[in-house]
Amino acid sequence: MDLTDGYYTRATLDTKGMPIEGLLALYAPAKSNGPHGILEVHASAEGPLNDKTRMQAQVVIPTFKAEYQGLQIGNTRPIRVRYANSIVALDPTEIAGTDTTLRLEGQLPLEGSAPVTLSAVGAIDMQLLRFFQADIQSSGKLLLDVHGTGATAHPELKGQLRLQSVSLMTPDAPLGLQNLNGVLDISNDKVDVTQLTGDAGGGQILARGVIGYRPQLQMNLALQGKNVRIRYQDAIRTVLESELNLMGTSEAASRRWAAMTPTLAHASRCRSGSRVASCLLSLLM
């Protein structure tokens, strides 16, 4: 580093075959039976630190591989990220794994008038969620074709997310989702839920509506449930035949229920009237 020329710096970082277990331990307690794999990184930077428009940098990841519970994921070609002229660019790359292929590329200007160009296209096996939460039960696929363009201050995001036979269940959830199928269209700062159906608790669920995400979260979403059985803390079991409308913003939202909870079966811990009311209130809030 030169202290007399705008802190002109030349720096490099090189790793070979670094276990990913050490990186994961930074965010969660290390587990002997957790995800394992290797990561190789080569990085370099050059330029005056006090003038980022003259800085240049590059990060190359030749190797990234991870395995967990029979699942695999990794890169099929080197991942290369470059920085120059205040633009961060990701060269075309591909992530592949268990029934998964994801192609990524684009550029993001930090200053100036150069356009944003981002692209993510592929299919992701939902079983890969177990890399992030070991006790989740998941299956199905998420297909995505999403592109970002326009000015950095207000880029336009367009594309589509498609859920195919998606199932999700966590140990502490009162019910899980099965066979979730639907299409989410992204355009003009909003997501159109054109058709989303699935099964939950032996019944059927349906969602449709619009979710806006800029300049703030806004929603006009209708949810329907038919013969959905919910078991809550081993204390009560209820069957929901309901409609729920969510409308408003993240700061001022309204909810409206209709035709709710026609059937209720309770266990010993909710036998008194006040306890049943308390359990139901906790369930429905």
Q: Cα(17)–Cα(64) distance, rounded to whole angstroms?
A: 9
Q: Given a cut of 90, is residue 64 above it in pLDDT?
A: yes
Query: What is residue 56's predicted lDDT score, i.e. its pLDDT?
Result: 96
Q: Cα(225)–Cα(81) distance, rounded to whole angstroms?
A: 46
Least confident of 4-18, 40-54, 262-276: 262-276
Query: What is residue 233's predicted lDDT score, i.e. its pLDDT?
Result: 63
Q: How would you classify the pairing of strands 71-75 and 56-68?
A: antiparallel
CA 283 to chain centre: 26
Q: Which candidate, 118, 105, 124, places its Cα nearest to that of 147? A: 118
User: Is the Cα dihedral 70, 71, 76, 80 positive or negative?
Assistant: negative
Q: Given a cut of 70, is residue 265 above it in pLDDT?
A: no
Q: How would you classify the pairing of strands 87-97 and 79-84?
A: antiparallel
**pLDDT average, residue stretch 103-117:** 92
Query: What is residue 248's predicted lDDT score, i.e. its pLDDT?
Result: 79
Query: What is residue 253's predicted lDDT score, i.e. its pLDDT?
Result: 56
Q: Given a cut of 90, is residue 146 above it in pLDDT?
A: yes
Question: What DSSP string runs through 157-180?
Answer: EEEEEEEEEEEEE-TT-SS-EEEE
H-helix segments, the chain:
20-24, 273-284
Whole-angstrom distance between the N-terminal and C-terminal Cα of the chain? 58
Q: How much is the pTM?
A: 0.80
Query: What is residue 1's predicted lDDT score, i.e. its pLDDT?
Result: 59
Look at phi and psi of residue 273 and say left if phi exceeds 0, alpha if psi is from -120 to 50, else beta. Answer: alpha
Query: What is residue 213's predicted lDDT score, i.e. its pLDDT?
Result: 85
Q: What is the mean pLDDT of the chain?
A: 84
Number of H helices, E strands in the chain: 2, 18
pLDDT band at 3 (very low <50, low <70, confident <90, very high): low
User: Is the Cα dihedral 32, 35, 37, 43 positive or negative?
Assistant: negative
* Residue that the structure tokens 């096996």 belong to: 125
Asked whether the beta carbons of 265 and 237 are under 8 A apart, the reply is: yes
Query: What is residue 5's predicted lDDT score, i.e. its pLDDT?
Result: 63
User: Is the Cα dihedral 77, 79, 85, 86 positive or negative?
Assistant: positive
How does pLDDT run across 206-235, given as a tens digit for each residue? Answer: 999 999 988 888 889 888 888 888 776 666
Asked whether the beta carbons of 44 and 27 are under 8 A apart, the reply is: no
Q: Which candidate, 124, 116, 121, places its Cα nearest to that of 157? A: 116
Q: Given a cut of 60, is residue 268 above it in pLDDT?
A: no
Top pLDDT among 284 and 256 is at 256
What are the beta bridge partners of residue 139? 167
Q: Given a cut of 80, is residue 179 above it in pLDDT?
A: yes
